Structure 1
Amino acid sequence: MSGTYLGMPAFPAAAASSTQDARLRGNLRHATHTIRDKRAKAVAELDDWARLRAAGAAVKDRTLRHLDHYLEQLEESVTAAGGQVHWAADAAEANAIVARLVRETGEREVVKVKSMATQETGLNRALAEAGISAYETDLAELIVQLGDDLPSHILVPAIHRNRGEIRDIFREQMARWGRPAPENLSDAPAELAEAARLHLREKFLTAKVAVSGANFMVADTGTLVVVESEGNGRMCLTLPETLISVVGIEKVVPTWQDLEIFLQLLPRSSTAERMNPYTSMWTGTTDGDGPRTFHLVLLDNGRTDTLADTVGRQALRCIRCSACLNVCPVYERAGGHAYGSAYPGPIGAILTPQLRGTASELDASLPYASSLCGACYEVCPVAIDIPEVLVHLRERVVQGGRVTRRGVKTVLKPAKGHAAERAAMRAAGFAFDHPGALRAGQRLAARTRRLHPRRLPGPGRAWTDTRDLPPVPAESFRDWWRRTRGEERTK
C-alpha cells in the first residue's frame, strides 16, 4: 500500500524541508528542464497552436456551462452500449462503489492504469482496508508503490527518484509484490524497464479486474479515451473480464470533433510527442472483444462546487498535461510532495483548495505556493489563467466570503493568521483613496529611508525571510514628476 497525504504540513513548512534536499532539487531540475525543452520544440511545429489552445478553452468552457446536459447524455450513451454508470458525490462514495464492484466479482486483486482520480480519492488505501490488493502498472506509479511513496508529478510520478534509487527499490521490494527483480540488476534504463515488464506481465495475464481513469469521455457515443506511452493501459483495458473506470465529471467532451482538438493539445504539452504511442478507446462492451463487464464511476468530489465559482471554475478545464509544473520555479525547487495533494504544482495550488476547501492549514496555504510569474498560464494548452485564480483564492483565504460547499451556499470566515494582512490591505486601500495621505506617507518614507530595517519585524518577518525589503527611493515618482514636468503642465 502506498503512502498517504493525510496529516501533511502546510506548504511553507513542507517546502522549507524539501528545498534543502540537494539530490531532490537536482532530480527535479534535470527532469523538468528536459521535458519543457522538448515540449517547446513540439509545440513550435504547429503554426496554429494559438488557435488550437483557444479552441480547447472554448470547448471546455461550453461543456462546463452545460455540464448537466452532457453528463446525462454520456450516461445514456454508456448504458446503451452495455456499460453501467454509477454516480459518486465524494471520495468515500467512489471508493465504496469500486470496492463493492470488485467484491461482487469474487476477486481480491485488481490491476490499475495510472489514474489521478483514484489518487485523489485514496482508492488504493480504501481497497486495502477492504481486503483487496491494487497493483499499479504504470512504470512510474509502480516505482512509487513499491517504494511506499507518494507521486510528486502529474506526468512522471517518480520524478523525484533517480536511477540508482529505482534500482534499489526494485531489488528490495519487487519480490514482496510478485516476480522478483533479476539478480545483479543495474541502474541501466533498459534493465530497469525489462525488470518492470517481466514483473507486470505476470499481473496482466492473471488479473480478472482492472481499474482505470480516463483522459476524456465523449458524450454523444459514450466512448472513453486513455492515452499513454507504455502499453500498460492497453493491457489493462483489454485483458481483464471486468473494467471499472473512475473519472471526474469534468472530463466529458461533447463530440468526437471536440476530442480531435485535445488529442493534438495533450501529447505535445505532456510528453512532447505528436501523438501518444497508445490511444485506447472503448464504448461499453462488445462480445468477444475486451472486458465482458464495464462500470463507469462518475466522480464529483467538489467539482460541482468549483463549477459554481465563476473565476475558479476555469481550473476544471485542466487536461492533466503537467506543462505548468515543468516551468514553475516554485515546483522545481520544492517538489511535488510539498503540495500535500495528488495534484502538485500550479494546477494543484488552484484545484486542490477548491475541491477540498480552505479550512485546513495546508489547503489555505496552497494559493500562496506561487511567485505569480505567469509562466504556467503561458504554457497551459487550455489557457487556464492560474495567476488570476491564485489571487482570487488568496482573497478568499484572507477575507472569507461566499462559497458553495456540497451544493449549499455558505459564508467562509477569514482564515486565522491573516489579521495583519487584512489590516495592511485596509490601510493601503485608505491611502490609495486619499491622494494627500498617500503623498504624505511617501515623503515620510523617503525622509526616513536610512532608518529602515533590512528585515521586517513581527508578522512581516515571514515575507523578508525569503526576499529583500526593497529600498525606498529618495524621491517619489509624483514629486519627481512635479519637479521636472510641473512647468510644462502649467503652460
Structure 2
Amino acid sequence: MSRIDHAKAAGAFIRKTEHVAFHDKRLWDLREKRDAQAHGIPEWETLRELASGIKEHTLSHLSDYLEQFAAAAEANGVVVHWAATAEEHNALVHTIMSERGMTTLVKSKSMLTDECKMREYLEPRGITVMETDLGERIQQLDHQDPSHMVVPAVHKLRGDVAELFGRTIGTDPQNSDIHYLAESQRMNTRPYFVREKTAGMTGCNFAVAETGTVVVCTNEGNADLSANVPPLHIASIGIEKLIPKVSDLGVFIRMLSRSALGSPITQYTSHFRAPRPGTEMHFILVDHGRSERLAMEDFWYSLKCIRCGACMNTCPVYR
C-alpha cells in the first residue's frame, strides 16, 4: 500500500476547527451509545470473552477451518479462489469479470478491497467500480480513502457533502439536507445495478466454516442489491473472517453493531450461501500478510479484530 503522510493530513484537518469539534462530538456520541448498549446486557463481558475464545480457537486451527469452508462452499455451487497477495486478489477479480465481458462492478463496503487497492487496479483496465455505500461513495467522489472503519466519511460536514455532490453528480450545492443528499446519491447509484455487463461485489463480516456461508452486515441494503441484482456475485474474504459454526455467529452478531454504532443489530444481516439459478457466486479467500501476522507472537491476536471501530471512537488522539 502507498505510504500516507499522516502529519500533513492531520495538520490540514486540525486547521478546520468546526470539523474538529464535530468529529470529536460524533465519535464520542458513538462511544456513549456503545457503552449504553453494553451496560444494557448483563452478559456483555461474557460475550466478549466468548467471542475472543472462539476467535483464538479458529485462528489456532485456521487451515482446517479454511479447508472446511471451501469444501462446503464448493458443495453449495460456489467457485472458491485463493489469493496470497493483494495483487493476486485484484487479478482474480479482473479475470473473473473480463472472461464474462463484465465492465462495471457495483460493490458494497469492503475494507479488504480498500486494503488491496482494487479500484485503482481495475479502473485503468477498463472496469468501472461503483461504491454503493453512502460514506464510501462520498469518499470515492472526493478521491479520498475512508477515514474510519465503520463511518468512512465521518470527518465531513453535511455542507462538505453538498458541495461535493454539486460538483460531481450535479445536485444543488446549497442544499445540505441529509435526506436530499442521501436520496440524490441513491438515484445516482441505482442505475448502475441494472446496467448490462455488471457484476456485484460484497465484503464479508463473517465466514461460517460449517456451512460455507458468507455473512454481511449493513444498514443501507446496498450489499443485498450488489449480491442479488447482477448475475455475478464476488465476495472478497480475509482469511481471518472465519468462524467455526452457525451457533457461533449469534455471539458476534450481538456484539458487532452494539460495539460499532451503539445499536442492537444492523438493519440487514445477510447470509450468502449459494448462487441463484442462472447466476454465479465466487468467493476469494485473501491472505495478504495475515499468515505472517498469525506467526508473530506479539501480533497474532490482532486477527481477532471484528472491525467494529470502537477503538477509534475511544481514542482521544483520533477523535
TM-score (norm 2): 0.96
1:321 corresponding residue in structure 2 = 308
Distance (whole Å) between structure 1 residues aligned to residue 116 and residue 312 of structure 2? 21
Distance (whole Å) between structure 2 residues aligned to residue 276 and residue 221 of structure 1? 22
Distance (whole Å) between structure 1 residues aligned to residue 190 and residue 174 of structure 2? 18
SS of structure 2 residue aligned to 1:199:
helix
1:261 maps onto 2:251 in alignment: yes
Identity across matched positions, percent: 36
1:37: Cα distance to partner?
A: 1.3
1:171 maps onto 2:160 in alignment: no
Match of 1:162 among 157, 162, 168: 157
1:249 maps onto 2:239 in alignment: yes
Contiguous gaps of at least 5 residues in structure 1:
175-179, 333-491
Cα RMSD after superposing both structures: 1.5
CA contact (8 A) 2:108 2:133 kept: yes
Runs of 4 or more, structure 1, over 3 Å off, are: 11-21
Alignment map for 1:48-87 (pairs within 5 Å): 48-87=43-82
Distance (whole Å) between structure 1 residues aligned to residue 270 and residue 174 of structure 2? 32
Distance (whole Å) between structure 2 residues aligned to residue 167 and residue 20 of structure 1? 21
Task: Point out which structure has higher relative CO (alpha carbons under 8 A, 6+ apart).
Answer: 2
CA contact (8 A) 1:285 1:294 kept: yes
1:16: Cα distance to partner?
A: 4.7
1:104 maps onto 2:99 in alignment: yes
Alignment map for 1:423-442 (pairs within 5 Å): none
1:312 corresponding residue in structure 2 = 299
SS of structure 2 residue aligned to 1:269:
helix
2:179 corresponding residue in structure 1 = 190
1:322: Cα distance to partner?
A: 0.5
1:8 maps onto 2:4 in alignment: yes
Structure 1 residues 82-118: Cα deviation after superposition (integer angstroms, max 9, x where no partner): 0111111111111111111111120211101100000
1:217 corresponding residue in structure 2 = 207
SS of structure 1 residue aligned to 2:194:
helix
Distance (whole Å) between structure 1 residues aligned to residue 265 and residue 272 of structure 2? 18
TM-score (norm 1): 0.63
1:115 corresponding residue in structure 2 = 110
SS of structure 1 residue aligned to 2:318:
helix
1:40 corresponding residue in structure 2 = 35
SS of structure 2 residue aligned to 1:206:
coil
Structure 1 residues 394-445: Cα deviation after superposition (integer angstroms, max 9, x where no partner): xxxxxxxxxxxxxxxxxxxxxxxxxxxxxxxxxxxxxxxxxxxxxxxxxxxx
Alignment map for 1:198-209 (pairs within 5 Å): 198-206=187-195, 208-209=198-199
1:237 maps onto 2:227 in alignment: yes
Change (3 A) 1:7 1:305: closer
Alignment map for 1:383-462 (pairs within 5 Å): none
CA contact (8 A) 2:68 2:210 kept: yes
CA contact (8 A) 2:215 2:270 kept: yes
Letter matched to residue 297 of structure 1:
I
Distance (whole Å) between structure 2 residues aligned to residue 184 and residue 29 of structure 1? 25
Match of 1:295 among 258, 269, 282: 282
Distance (whole Å) between structure 1 residues aligned to residue 13 and residue 129 of structure 2? 29
Alignment map for 1:139-154 (pairs within 5 Å): 139-154=134-149
Letter matched to residue 71 of structure 1:
L
Structure 1 residues 323-362: Cα deviation after superposition (integer angstroms, max 9, x where no partner): 0000101111xxxxxxxxxxxxxxxxxxxxxxxxxxxxxx
1:193: Cα distance to partner?
A: 1.2
Distance (whole Å) between structure 1 residues aligned to residue 39 and residue 291 of structure 2? 36
Letter matched to residue 89 of structure 1:
A
1:185: Cα distance to partner?
A: 6.0
Number of residue pairs the alignment of both structures matches: 318
1:6: Cα distance to partner?
A: 2.3
CA contact (8 A) 1:112 1:236 kept: yes
Letter matched to residue 67 of structure 2:
E
CA contact (8 A) 1:185 1:191 kept: no
1:194: Cα distance to partner?
A: 1.1
1:275: Cα distance to partner?
A: 1.2
Letter matched to residue 211 of structure 2:
T
Structure 1 residues 56-94: Cα deviation after superposition (integer angstroms, max 9, x where no partner): 000000000000000000110110000111111111111
Structure 1 residues 201-254: Cα deviation after superposition (integer angstroms, max 9, x where no partner): 212232630121110000011000000001111111111100111110000100
Alignment map for 1:374-389 (pairs within 5 Å): none
CA contact (8 A) 2:73 2:273 kept: yes
Distance (whole Å) between structure 2 residues aligned to residue 285 and residue 133 of structure 1? 23
1:446 corresponding residue in structure 2 = none
Letter matched to residue 85 of structure 1:
V
1:91 maps onto 2:99 in alignment: no
1:310: Cα distance to partner?
A: 2.2
SS of structure 2 residue aligned to 1:111:
strand
Contiguous gaps of at least 5 residues in structure 2:
none
CA contact (8 A) 1:143 1:158 kept: yes
CA contact (8 A) 2:238 2:286 kept: yes
Structure 1 residues 270-321: Cα deviation after superposition (integer angstroms, max 9, x where no partner): 1211111111111122326xxx101111110000000001221110001110
